[in-house]
Amino acid sequence: MLALAATHSSTPSVRAQLNQYQAQLQQARRDAAQAADRVARLEQQAEVARQESAQADDRVRGLENQPPRADADDNSGARKRINSLSQLSGTLLDVTA
């Protein structure tokens, strides 16, 4: 009878431990879900940042491949260079208009 009484008296403690375990498990699952959501958001932000970085790099390369022209510093925007082929001699003429 004493053994039965000891088992019976420990049951509420076991139930309390089980309830505590279940509560901790549920909290851990919520935390894991929140962490997974945060990871997904950060991955999306990282992808956007990668795309912006690639676009900026492309722009830099484009500008590097197009150095300023010598006459770009000249403020006369009306000045144009016309290349034409002379019909009489077949030579290339460089005429500045």
Residue 11's pLDDT band (boundaries 50, 70, 90)? Answer: confident
CB-based contact 97:84 (threshold 8 Å): no
In a domain, 84, yes or no: no
- 75: pLDDT strictly greater than 60: no
Q: What is the total count of domains within the chain?
A: 1
Q: Is residue 35 part of a domain?
A: yes
Amino acid code (one letter) for 46: A
Tell me the pLDDT tens digit for each residue of 36-45.
999 999 999 9
Residue 50 burial (CB < 10 Å; 0-12/13-18/19+)? exposed
Per-residue pLDDT, 83? 55
Q: Which residue has the tokens 């309830």?
A: 19
Cα–Cα distance between 51 and 22 in angstroms, integer?
44
Q: 96 lies in a domain?
A: no
Give domain status of residue 6, yes or no.
yes
User: What is the pLDDT, as a whole number, of residue 67?
Assistant: 80
Residues of the chain with pLDDT > 90, as a percent, come to 53
pTM for this entry: 0.50
Domain range for 37: 1-68
